[in-house]
Amino acid sequence: MKSLFLLSLLVLAGCASYKTYNQTTTGIVILRGGIYKKKSWDDSLVFKRMSWYHGMTLYFDALFWKADIDSPFSNWFSPSEKEFFTKCEHFLVTAGYSADPSKISHVNFREQMKLNGYDEIVLNTFASSLKSHPSATDWRLQNYKFMGYCKRAPSRVKAQGLAINFPSFEQLEVEL
């Protein structure tokens, strides 16, 4: 009887703490190792992560990697995609997931990136390599839209990090 009472209190406390408001989180996503042709490596590809929720429902998820020409993962870029390393002050690879575009869409995300001084670039070759990574299914990356973003030198916006602000959510900032 005593354990039933404690279980009831635990369930009641869980229901009372259920969040029904907009919230945000940040974190990282790590993909370890990679292969390109006959070359393999053990390095890690570390994405910074920003997520927007309503209660327990994910509205939008964004991953950011400040691309580095010296990283072995740069092998995954096509020659035309690699050209942006010389044309950009900062070159970012992003992965975005929109659970409900009527709430937060990829267009909203693109507008926020533009406000941060970044122009959109299509990265088909890199995206297909990334989606083929063995850890891609763990993170469900097949549901993400991959894009590149270029902050041209000299940039219009001087901030080193990113600030993303969707309506009715706390602004998120990340250093890249």
The answer to whether residue 145 sits within a structural domain is yes
pLDDT at 8: 62
In a domain, 114, yes or no: yes
pLDDT for res 145: 96
| Spatial separation of the C-alpha atoms in residues 173 and 149, rounded to whole Å | 17
Angle at Cα 149 formed by Cα 145 and Cα 150, nearest 5°?
Answer: 165
**Residue-wise pLDDT tens digits, 161-173:** 899 999 999 999 9
Q: Which domain holds residue 74?
A: 20-174
Question: For position 103, what pLDDT does the model report?
Answer: 93
* pLDDT tops 70 at residue 150: yes
Cα–Cα distance, 86 to 147 (Å, whole number)? 18
Residue 153 clears pLDDT 90, i.e. is over it:
no
152 within some domain: yes
Residue 121 lies inside a defined structural domain of this protein: yes
Q: Is residue 8 part of a domain?
A: no
Residue 18 has pLDDT above 60, yes or no: no
Tell whether 2 is covered by a domain.
no
Residue 1 covered by a domain: no
75-85 pLDDT, tens per residue? 999 999 999 88
* Position 5 in a domain: no
| DSSP H helical ranges for the chain | 2-16, 79-82, 84-87, 106-115, 124-131
Above pLDDT 70, what percent of the chain? 85
Question: Which of 151, 153, 154 minimizes the C-alpha distance to 162?
Answer: 151
This prediction has a pTM of 0.83
- How many structural domains is the chain composed of? 1
Structure token digits, residue 20: 């029904």
From 15-24, 31-40, 84-93, 122-131, the region with the lowest mean pLDDT: 15-24
* Residue 20 confidence (pLDDT): 60
Cβ neighbours of residue 148 closer than 8 Å, sequence gap 6 or more: 67, 81, 84, 91, 92, 93, 94, 120, 121, 122, 123, 126
